[in-house]
Amino acid sequence: MAVNLTGILTTEMINSLSNVYIGFLTLSVVGSFSVLVVSILKWSYLREQVHLLVQLAVADLLAALILMSTSIMNKMNTINSIIICQYSLPLSLTFYFISFLLAAVYAWKSMNAIQGWRESQSDDQRQCARNKVAVPLYAFIWLVPSALYLAYVLTNYMVAAMVIPLDDRNFVDDGKYCTSCFLFLHVGRDSCSNNETFHSIFIRATLFIMVIGVMLTCSVIYYKVGKWYEKHEQAGLFPVEGDGRSRRRYTRVISTARNMVLVILVCWAPALILILVSTLMIWTDIEQRSLFALYVIQAISVSLQGFLNSMVYAWRRPNFTEAVLGEHTPLIAYHHQAFFEDSL
């Protein structure tokens, strides 16, 4: 049975999209890998904050590498790419989900570090309490998305078979479209696999819930952090400094928090828009090739997540770069000042 594939992306469009993915994913791989390597080498200087940074870098790095491998596979034009794609794209999204959850945990730890450090009775008690919470929390973050991925793979809906009859190859641009492996490329009306409808809906719905949920969570947490900081500054808890250092510190905290939320918005808003518009294609006469510009924007934004995270959570944070460059003694040595306070 032939599938309706009118108005699909052409071979030239698919090749261009592959190049976009490969080019911008390279930036993410370099950014995440640099944070990972430096964090391991400077473990003794970064101490507690390195636990979360390393996990975030690993999640972003794995997601970028898997997505890059699928893009390279598109240029090779192998028939086996159909089977590989069914497993690789959901796996890359799994690591992106883990990255989202780690971003939410980072926001929560930032709030606790800023609002609670003065009231803690001792550093030993604070460290013990953090360790009791951290291990099961990190295990939950990694195991739950992994379990969802395994459930996805093991369901009876996964069909690893040729999805286009050989007789229909001349109608689909030599099979290039159906052997291509891109995020959100296939939709219900023009999908090359009639057995993937359930999984397509599941992935898109999960992505919507995850992105919007994490973004709202981080926004609320950082908003509370800003209000708490402003309230205590006005109350005179922070010293009035002639050089305006306290005000600059407050501005930097708010700016860093805003950037952390913006990374999620900038990287995944085009993807959410693409999902909405491409879903409407099922009931409208919109042709997929007319959305090519949106596919390119979505490819650029998603591909840059690892790079932007490496900037926001590491290289543009003064306390990270100072510790890495050896310009400060270990951050936790300053018991009178929370290490998150300067730049979250």
75-122 pLDDT, tens digit each: 876 656 667 788 888 899 999 999 999 999 988 887 776 655 444 445
- Determine contact, residues 275/207, Cβ cutoff 8 Å: yes
Residue 99 lies in a domain: yes
Q: Which residue has the tokens 């009306």?
A: 189
Q: Quick count: other Cβ atoms within 10 Å of Cβ 158?
A: 16
Tokens (6 digits) for 326: 């050896």
Domain count, the chain: 1
* pLDDT tens by residue, 187-196: 655 556 555 5
Backbone angles phi, psi at 182, to 5 degrees: -130, 155
Alpha helix positions (H), 117-166: 123-154
Tell me how far CA of residue 36 lies from CA of 41, 98, 116, 301, 314, in angstroms. 9, 16, 28, 22, 10
b (16+ CB within 10 A) / e for 45-74: bbebbbbbbbbbbbbbbbbbbbbbbbbebb
Residue 254 lies in a domain: yes
Q: Quick count: other Cβ atoms within 10 Å of Cβ 334?
A: 14
Q: Quick count: other Cβ atoms within 10 Å of Cβ 31?
A: 24
Q: How far apart are CA 108 and CA 308, in angstroms?
A: 20
Reference 90, options 164, 183, 177; nearest CA is: 183
Q: How far apart are CA 130 and CA 244, in angstroms?
A: 33
pLDDT at position 80 is: 61
- Determine contact, residues 21/71, Cβ cutoff 8 Å: yes
pLDDT at position 247 is: 62
Q: Show Cβ contacts of residue 84 under 8 Å, excluding neighbours closer than 6 positions.
A: 70, 73, 181
Tokens (6 digits) for 160: 């690893």
User: For 326, left (φ over 0), alpha (ψ -120 to 50), or beta?
Assistant: left
- Determine contact, residues 73/181, Cβ cutoff 8 Å: yes
pLDDT at position 92 is: 93
Residue 117 lies in a domain: yes
- Determine contact, residues 341/245, Cβ cutoff 8 Å: no
Residue 65 lies in a domain: yes
Residue 5 lies in a domain: no
Domain residue limits at 146: 11-333
CATH number, domain containing residue 286: 1.20.1070.10
Residue 3 lies in a domain: no
pLDDT at position 280 is: 81
Q: Which residue has the tokens 């604070």?
A: 126
Residue 84 lies in a domain: yes
User: For 175, left (φ over 0), alpha (ψ -120 to 50), or beta?
Assistant: left
Q: How far apart are CA 260 and CA 262, in angstroms?
A: 5
Residue 342 lies in a domain: no
- Ranges of the chain with pLDDT below 50: 1-4, 117-121, 157-174, 240-243, 329-344
Please give the single-letter amino acid code of residue 151. A
pLDDT at position 179 is: 75
